[in-house]
Amino acid sequence: MEKSTVFNNRLLPYMLLLPQLVITVVFFYWPASQAIWQSFLREDAFGLVSEFVGLENYQALFAQPEYYASMLTTIIFSSLVAALSLSIALLFATQADKSLKAAPAYKTLMIWPYAVAPAVAGVLWFFMFQPSLGMLARPLRGMGLDWNPLLNGNHAMMLVVMASVWKQISYNFLFFLAGLQSIPKSVIEASAIDGAGPMRRFWTIIFPLLSPTTFFLLVVNVVYVFFDTFGIIDAVTGGGPAGATTTMVYKVYADGRLGGDLGGSAAQSVVLMIIVIALTAIQFRYVERKVQY
């Protein structure tokens, strides 16, 4: 039976909901609707006059080859970051789950990167791999590798991927570890007696039982790479070289703030919003089905 509470005062339930509703309206619905409205307007460079132009901003957007390039960049970047941060975190979590003496210290160390702001993380990685001064860039160049993220788009991509993955591993690690610890020990023991070696045990028992955690993290990580990696990209490459690391969210910023094209930038954020909503819906519809057990 559903538990339900009956309020005697008719106003009280609405009052209790109000704070959450206000926050959602002020910080989500209002800016989102502003963005949608803005995407139908064209503003002059000084922000003095704006004119309704209908779908012109969208037409201009989809006529830009750079926009398709940023889509491709986003796909590469987000799949790399999500796949790497999830799999590395899972590997670390399975190791931390073993009853080792140093496990608590190891866990604490694993969580630290999460406390570092994205921009700061970006700067750290940028310094380490800065081609002429970076602590790690020099040995790379010493080995004869022409390491230069400032000029080579692939190198720049590798760098932002590494920084974003490094930042996200902590979060994924925590959830995977909690997920692993909630698997009954006797189930693992039963499978050991049933003759499954460590690898087989992992893929046939542990991984399927972790699927709710994995699914949750997949959704969170996709949203993370789409939006929260902005700070890292801005600090490490600023979208360069030559747009090689300009993801869709970075392009919104670059075109709107730096380029002054508010209408076009708003149109991009609307497209971005639709993509993320669609992705999340697809994940819930198709991936979650396989999660049930």
Partner 1 sequence: MANVTLRNVRKTYVGGFEAIKGIDFDVGDGQFCVLVGPSGCGKSTLLRMVAGLETITGGEIDIGGRVVNQIEPADRDIAMVFQNYALYPHMSVYNNMAYGLRNRRMAEAEIKTRVEEAARILELGAMLDRKPRQLSGGQRQRVAMGRAIVRQPKVFLFDEPLSNLDAKLRIAMRVEIRKLQRRLSTTSIYVTHDQLEAMTLADILVVMNGGQVEQIGNPLDIYQKPATTFVASFIGAPPMNLMPLRSDEIKSQLAGDARANEAGILGIRPEDFVITNETVSGGVALGLTVEAIERVGAETFLYGTRQHEVQGVAATPGELPPGEIIVRIPGAVGPAIGERIRAVAASDKLHLFAADGRKRVGC
Residues at the site binding partner 1, with contacts judged by CB under 8 A: 184, 186-187, 189-197, 200, 204-205, 208-209, 293
The set of long-range contacts for 272-275, using a CB threshold of 8 Å and a minimum separation of 24, is 272/226, 272/248, 273/32, 273/35, 275/226, 275/248
User: If you count them, how many residues does the chain have?
Assistant: 293
Count CB atoms within 10 A of the CB of residue 270.
21
Q: How far is the CB of 104 from partner 1 (least distance, A)?
A: 16
Pair of tokens at residue 272: 């971005």
Residue with Cβ nearer partner 1 (144 or 184): 184
The count of C-alpha atoms lying within 13 angstroms of the C-alpha of 59, restricted to the half-sphere facing its C-beta, is 7
Q: How far is the CB of 200 from partner 1 (least distance, A)?
A: 7
Residue with Cβ nearer partner 1 (114 or 216): 216
Q: How far is the CB of 208 from partner 1 (least distance, A)?
A: 5
Q: How far is the CB of 87 from partner 1 (least distance, A)?
A: 21
Q: How large is the angle between the packed helices 103-111 and 65-97, nearest 10 degrees?
A: 160
**Four-point Cα dihedral 77, 79, 81, 85, nearest 10:** 180
Report the largest interatomic distance among the alpha carbons of the chain, rounded to a whole angstrom: 77
Residue with Cβ nearer partner 1 (212 or 240): 212
Q: How far is the CB of 102 from partner 1 (least distance, A)?
A: 15
Q: How far is the CB of 109 from partner 1 (least distance, A)?
A: 24
Residue with Cβ nearer partner 1 (64 or 191): 191
Helix (H) or strand (E) holding 173: helix 153-181
**Which residues sit opposite 41 in a β-bridge?**
52
**Which residues sit opposite 43 in a β-bridge?**
50
Residue with Cβ nearer partner 1 (65 or 195): 195
User: Do the beta carbons of residue 38 and residue 266 sit within 8 Å?
Assistant: yes
Residue with Cβ nearer partner 1 (133 or 192): 192
